[in-house]
Structure 1
Amino acid sequence: SDPNIGMESDENAVTIFSRDGESEKISRASKKIIARALVKKIGANAKKVLTKKF
């Protein structure tokens, strides 16, 4: 863990874990950029789920 990111900082870094065991890192960036990346990832995943044919 980096003490220069997270709480009390304008920057953060995150790792997204998927159900299938894969992970995707979002490197250190402003929280605004990370939020946009998360919304984009969630939207893409929701679109995949909603358009999936059973």
Structure 2
Amino acid sequence: MEEQLKAGKEFYLSHDPFSLLNGTGSGYAREIEYLIDKDVKEFILVSESLWKAVW
């Protein structure tokens, strides 16, 4: 993910980032926490099952 961030890529998520944060320790929850640590300001629902990370 670090390389993608450095390249300025946009991040889209196929699972609700808010519901999975409760499952701390899971791989997906760690990825969400990582993005938040990298200053993601919010996750916006862009379609029925697609979220976009916004910096």
TM-score bracket, normalised by the shorter chain, equals under 0.3
Under a length normalisation based on structure 2, what TM-score does the superposition of the two structures give? 0.24
- Say which structure is richer in strand: 1
Radius of gyration: which is bigger? 1
